[in-house]
């Protein structure tokens, strides 16, 4: 709050704050730009370094796996077909392969063509006799004749996480007759420990994935061994690496920490090795540097602010002296005198120009007084507190007394203590005009008062000009009266139209309807007496009778449209219900009707008006709404009748616009206006239209 006050009243403060703002913004833009560039460079360099490390480790793992596959294949090639029939010889064969056994910490096994183990080390595990055909690497060796690395799984007998490697055993013709398999226990010391016992950085680590199974083989975090990777769509970074991406990327890990991660393939097994490092650790040097730059920027900002303030205070000292002198003379009510010059710079030039302006104002004072006396209408000049400094002769003649020295509102306000709308409460700037229509009356006439800001005798003042608006008010009243007459005339014409429709409907019913009925009776009489050998004549007469039936139905519909007879005989509720039912049958649109009373006495004008609104609204829905459901409800509450019509059609984007034309809306609004009611229509595109009519009983 204090800073706002200083900035509003002190030029030095505003310039200092503007300078500091520019300086601070520049410093922080530099910090942001430099930090972003350094961040990108460091991310690229760290990514390249991280990818090199993970590629090196993956190559070592791939080499270890390849060595074990080759060792198994070499040993399998030394097993003759005849040995498969001698389990004891096979057992000795395995026990003699100490070097091969050292490669597989969970033991070795020889599998026959059916997938059953016939020899195994160590013997204590008890694998002999157990069938392993369901294991993927055993099936690949026996059925496809290829060596492979298995899916990590839980061993049948050891109950620990393991993965296996198997190589086929062939006879002299190359036919697969068995398999030599080795198991690696992930829970014990093995060649993969180089990634599980070593981390990456201080808080990073490695993760070995089997992407084809979305399974974690092993990693720096031992608790994740043999756990499933997140399902697709949960972790974008994991999906990227499992999908085959090799390289470096940033993203969120499973616990929501942003990491810099690199991934590459382990070719022999088809696995993926990932090394990740939290970005908080990776980019810590950049953040430290940004903080140091920010502290330096704050120190430079404070220094620049102090130097700017000192320089501005020195340069604006003459202007402050002049301002202080002018303010003290204004407070004392003294006539402004020339101000002391401070020098030959821009400030001195400004003070000199001000002194020249004061002299010009003194010389023009007498001329202003002469011009004011020639203004041909009542006017006065008041100070910002409402005190009259000058009043024209016409104004004093109008109020019947001298006005100079009084408060302006005493001239045209009966209760000047509550002059809340006086524009002087908000100072009028020079050249700005505000208009106030007064409630006061002078000599039986009402005046409008225009206020214009100006300088009077070198000080801010307001000129008030009094304009007679009596004639304008008389014309406005006459226009309102004529509008009321036009509205009454429209209502009369509407009543005459309805009376004419009622008369025409009665004539159609009493005259034309009776004639058609008589014609029908005559045709029936003739048809009954025709000779039996004239079937053609009888058929023709049947066609004439059908045409007469159609003519009768048309006449009935015409009568209903012109003046619903049911409205006169059975009342408003029954008439609307009958029309809604016929509309539903004719249009195929589902209609729901409800009424708060069995009968509502709305009077003739309101009744026909409400019925016509229902008629117009339903016709609009049929033509334009593309609706499948309509609801019509009539409610009688207290002294009002409420009509509600709603549909589920395509709606109108500007339905609630008061002056909207089209779709019969204007006619419905006019009907409701004649009944002194309220009409509203709301709509949301795609959700239908809702019409509400409220008319007094």
- Give the per-residue pLDDT at 601: 84
Q: What is the mean pLDDT of residues 448-468?
A: 74
Among 136-150, 506-520, 582-596, 635-649, whose mean pLDDT is lowest? 506-520
**CB within 8 A of 197, min separation 6: which ones?**
none
Q: Which of 79, 83, 56, 234 is CA-nearest to residue 170?
A: 79
Q: Is the pLDDT of residue 359 over 80?
A: no
pTM for the complete prediction?
0.42
> Given this chain, do its domains 78-185 and 375-468 carry the same CATH topology?
yes
Half-sphere exposure of 33 (CA within 13 A, CB side): 6
Q: What is the pLDDT of residues 513-567, one digit of tens each?
A: 666 776 667 667 666 666 654 666 566 666 666 667 766 766 666 666 666 767 7
Q: 3-state class of 678 per DSSP?
A: strand
Give 557's Cβ-side CA count (13 Å radius).
9
Give residue 414's pLDDT band: very low, low, confident or very high (50, 70, 90): very low
Arithmetic mean of pLDDT over the chain: 77
* Higher per-residue confidence, 211 vs 373: 211
Domain locations in the chain as residue ranges: 78-185, 322-366, 375-468, 474-545, 570-696
Place of tokens 């810590």: 284
For the residues of 316-335, what is the DSSP string, one character each?
THHHHHHHHHHHHHHHHTPP
Over the stretch 93-115, which tens digit does the pLDDT of each residue have?
988 888 888 889 888 999 999 99
The lowest-confidence range among 31-45, 163-177, 269-283, 578-592 is 31-45
- Range in 109-113, 449-453, 475-479, 656-660 with the lowest mean pLDDT: 656-660
Q: Which residues contact 124 (CB under 8 A, 6 or more apart)?
A: none
Name which of 435, 433, 394 is nearest 411 in CA terms: 394
The pLDDT of residue 330 is above 70: no
Confidence at residue 663, expressed as pLDDT on a 0 to 100 scale? 46
Which structure tokens are listed for 483?
């509008």
Across 669-688, average pLDDT: 88
Q: pLDDT higher for 232 or 448?
A: 232
**Check: CATH 3.40.50.300 for 570-696?**
no
Least confident of 226-240, 278-292, 328-342: 328-342
CA distance 269 to 64: 11
Residue 495: phi and psi, rounded to 5, are: -65, -40
pLDDT(425) > 60: no
Is residue 466 within 8 Å of 378, Cβ to Cβ? yes
Q: What is the pLDDT of residue 684?
A: 83
Average pLDDT of the residues in 294-318: 75
Share of the chain above pLDDT 70, in %: 69
Task: Return the exposure string of 264-277: e unless at least 16 CB atoms fall within 10 Å of the residue's CB, then b.
Answer: bbbebbebbbbbbb
- Of these ranges, 107-121, 366-380, 408-422, 559-573, the one predicted with the greatest mean pLDDT is 107-121
Omega prior to 122 cis, within 30 of 0: yes
Backbone angles phi, psi at 688, to 5 degrees: 90, -175
On the question of pLDDT at 434 being above 70, the answer is no
* Residue position matching structure tokens 């490697």: 165
| CATH class belonging to 78-185 | alpha beta
Q: Using the predicted structure, report yes or no on whether residue 679 has a pLDDT greater than 60.
A: yes
Higher pLDDT, 460 or 533: 460
Q: Is 183 exposed, middle or buried (0-12, 13-18, 19+ CB in 10 A)?
A: buried
Pairing state between β 590-595 and 629-637: parallel
Predicted pLDDT of residue 630 = 95
Confidence of residue 692 (pLDDT cuts 50, 70, 90): very high
* In 93-136, beta strands by DSSP E: 108-112, 117-121
More confident residue, 660 or 395: 395
**Which phi and psi (to 5°) does residue 182 adopt?**
-130, 145
Which of 111-120, 146-155, 434-443, 583-592 bottoms out in mean pLDDT, i.e. has the lowest?
434-443
Phi, psi angles (nearest 5°) of residue 229? -75, 160
Q: What angle do CA 169, 171, 177 make, to 5 degrees?
A: 50
Q: What is the Cα gyration radius of the chain?
A: 51
* Share above pLDDT 90 across residues of the chain, in percent, rounded to a whole number: 14
Give the pLDDT score at 444.
62
Look at residue 239 in the predicted model and tell me its pLDDT.
Answer: 80
* pLDDT tops 80 at residue 427: no
Q: Is the pLDDT of residue 6 over 60?
A: no
Tokens of 625: 């709404």
Fold of 375-468: Beta-Lactamase (3.30.450)
- Averaged pLDDT, 567-578: 85
Per-residue confidence (pLDDT) for residue 490, from 0 to 100:
66
Cα-based distances in Å from 184 to 191, 218, 247, 306, 372: 9, 12, 29, 73, 112
Tokens 């096979």 -> residue = 90
CB–CB of 182/165 below 8 Å? yes
Closest residue by Cα to residue 104 from 183, 189, 181, 164: 183
């Amino acid at each position: 709050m204090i800073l706002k006050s200083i900035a509003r009243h002190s030029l030095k403060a505003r310039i200092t704050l503007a300078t500091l703002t520019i300086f601070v913004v520049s410093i922080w833009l530099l910090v942001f730009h430099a930090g972003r560039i350094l961040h990108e460079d460091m991310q690229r360099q760290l990514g390249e370094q991280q990818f090199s490390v993970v590629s090196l480790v993956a190559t070592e793992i791939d080499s270890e796996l390849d060595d074990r596959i080759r060792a198994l294949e070499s040993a399998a090639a030394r097993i003759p077909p005849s040995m498969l029939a001698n389990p004891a010889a096979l057992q000795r064969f395995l026990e003699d392969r100490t070097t091969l056994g050292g490669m597989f910490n969970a033991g070795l096994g020889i599998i026959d063509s059916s997938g059953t183990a016939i020899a195994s080390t160590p013997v204590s595990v008890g694998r002999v006799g157990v069938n392993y055909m369901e294991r993927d690497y055993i099936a690949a060796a026996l059925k496809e004749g290829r060596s492979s690395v298995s899916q990590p799984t839980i061993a049948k007998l050891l109950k620990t996480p393991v993965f296996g490697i198997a190589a086929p055993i062939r006879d002299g013709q190359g036919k697969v007759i068995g398999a030599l398999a080795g198991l690696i226990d992930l829970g014990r010391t093995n060649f993969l420990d180089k990634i599980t016992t070593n981390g990456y950085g201080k808080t990073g680590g490695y993760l070995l994935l089997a992407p084809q199974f979305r399974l974690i083989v092993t990693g720096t975090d031992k608790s994740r061994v043999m756990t499933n990777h997140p399902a697709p769509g949960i972790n974008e970074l994991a999906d990227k690496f499992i999908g085959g991406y090799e390289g470096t990327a940033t993203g969120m890990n499973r616990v929501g920490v942003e990491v810099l991660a690199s991934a590459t393939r382990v070719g022999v097994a088809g696995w993926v090795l990932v090394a990740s490092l939290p970005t908080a650790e990776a980019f810590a040097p950049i953040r430290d540097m940004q903080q140091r730059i920010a502290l330096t920027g704050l120190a430079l900002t404070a220094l620049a602010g102090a130097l700017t303030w000192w320089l501005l205070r020195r340069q604006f000292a003459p202007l402050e002296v002049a301002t202080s002198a002018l303010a003290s003379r204004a407070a004392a009510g003294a006539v402004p005198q020339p101000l002391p010059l401070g020098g030959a710079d821009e400030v001195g030039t400004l003070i000199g120009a001000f002194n020249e302006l004061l002299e010009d104002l003194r010389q023009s004072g007498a001329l202003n007084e002469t011009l004011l006396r020639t203004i041909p209408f009542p006017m006065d000049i008041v100070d910002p507190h409402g005190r009259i400094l000058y009043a024209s002769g016409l104004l004093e003649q109008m109020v019947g007394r001298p006005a100079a020295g009084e408060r302006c509102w005493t001239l045209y306000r009966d209760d000047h203590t509550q002059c809340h709308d006086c524009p002087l409460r908000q100072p009028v700037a020079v050249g700005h005009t505000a208009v106030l229509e007064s409630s006061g009356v002078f000599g039986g006439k009402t005046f409008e008062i225009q206020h214009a800001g100006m300088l009077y005798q070198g000080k801010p003042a307001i000129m008030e000009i009094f304009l007679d608006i009596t004639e304008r008010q008389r014309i406005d009243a006459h226009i309102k009266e004529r509008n009321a007459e036009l509205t009454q005339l429209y209502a009369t014409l509407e009543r005459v139209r309805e009376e004419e429709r009622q008369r025409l409907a009665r004539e159609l019913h009493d005259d034309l309807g009776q004639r058609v009925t008589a014609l029908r009776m005559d045709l029936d009489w003739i048809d009954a007496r025709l000779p039996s050998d004239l079937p053609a004549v009888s058929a023709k007469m049947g066609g004439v009778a059908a045409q007469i039936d159609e003519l009768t139905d048309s006449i009935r519909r015409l009568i209903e449209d012109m003046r619903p007879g049911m409205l006169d005989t059975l009342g408003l509720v029954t008439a609307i219900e009958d029309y809604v039912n016929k509309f539903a049958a004719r249009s195929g649109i589902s209609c729901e009707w409800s009424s708060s009373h069995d009968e509502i006495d709305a009077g003739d004008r309101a009744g026909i008006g409400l019925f016509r609104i229902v008629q117009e609204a339903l016709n609009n829905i049929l033509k334009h709404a593309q609706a499948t459901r309509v609801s019509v409800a009539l409610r009688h509450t207290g002294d009002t009748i409420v009509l509600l019509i709603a549909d589920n059609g395509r709606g109108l984007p500007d339905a609630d616009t008061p002056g909207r034309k089209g779709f019969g809306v204007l006619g419905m609004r006019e009907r409701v206006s004649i009944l002194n009611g309220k009409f509203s229509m709301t709509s949301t595109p795609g959700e239908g239209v809702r019409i509400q009519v409220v008319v007094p009983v």
